[in-house]
Amino acid sequence: MEFVVQREACTAESTQGELLINGEHFSWSLEPRKDQTQGKPYCIPAGTYQVELLQSARFDMITPHLLNVPGFTEVEIHPGNYPRDTTACTLIGYLKATNFVGDSRKCFEDFMSKLLSGFEITYLDAGGTA
């Protein structure tokens, strides 16, 4: 399976995009802002990352963990709704509005049901650049 987060819009608070599985829309994504001038939190660099399903110390459940992200540790894909719910991680949800994804827990459960450990995910900036 191919997993891609296609970033589409940036605000002062967040980076919004779309999670594609095999080229088809699965959900909306929300990450911290792209602007790095104020320090962290900000979104991770575009690129392709190995992912493992690991226990999350923060959420006490198994989540997808992105490995070897330059300048970051403990980057996960997990439920959440607002930029305040992430410090570098990707939130996913079926509903979207500015600086918001909704129905996140259901979306996360559906996403987890599709996964096997040891896959890759690509993050593309607006315009499709990695």
Is the pTM above the cut of 0.75?
yes
User: Which domains are seen in the chain, by residue range?
Assistant: 3-124 (2.40.440)
**Tokens read off for 82:** 């607002």
Say how far apart CA 42 and CA 63 lie, in whole Å: 20
Return per-residue pLDDT of the chain as tens, 130 residues. Answer: 899 999 999 999 999 999 999 999 999 999 999 999 999 999 999 999 999 999 999 999 999 999 999 999 999 999 999 999 999 999 999 999 999 999 999 999 999 999 976 789 999 998 777 7
Instruction: Give the integer Cα–Cα distance in Å for 86 and 13.
Output: 11
